[in-house]
């Protein structure tokens, strides 16, 4: 079964850090680009970061540039979040990107709450 499982979310104060992890299984993880997507309370989905199959091509949403770092190893996707702001409060999803750049697999999400 193709599966993505996020972990590492929690509650932190503004300016703090969290490191999210995404464990991938059921597919050749190293062959696919991956993304982090988040949904803040009352808001729509926002792409946070993209990373290609090898990890050498990375893109970030303007809202997180300079603060978040996406990376990957052989079977996991990571998101290091520094200098967190209350507006980063959201459910963060690990997603697999398909050949047509679709978000074809989603994790269950992990909650991140940033307080002032």
Say what the pLDDT of residue 26 is.
97
Residue 53 CB contacts under 8 Å (≥ 6 apart), including other chains: 30, 31, 32, 33
CB 2 within 8 A of CB 27: yes
Span 87-97, pLDDT tens digits:
999 999 999 99
Section 45-50 average pLDDT: 98
């Amino acid at each position: 079964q193709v599966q993505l499982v996020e972990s590492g979310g929690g509650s932190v104060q503004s300016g703090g850090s969290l490191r999210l992890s995404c464990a991938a299984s059921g597919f050749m993880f190293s062959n696919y680009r991956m993304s982090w997507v988040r949904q803040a309370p009352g808001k729509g989905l926002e792409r946070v970061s993209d990373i290609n199959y090898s990890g050498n091509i990375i893109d970030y949403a303007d809202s997180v540039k300079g603060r978040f770092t996406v990376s990957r190893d052989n079977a996991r996707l990571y998101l290091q979040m520094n200098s967190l702001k209350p507006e980063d409060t959201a459910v963060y999803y690990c997603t697999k990107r398909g050949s047509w750049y679709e978000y074809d697999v989603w994790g269950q999400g992990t909650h991140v709450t940033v307080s002032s």
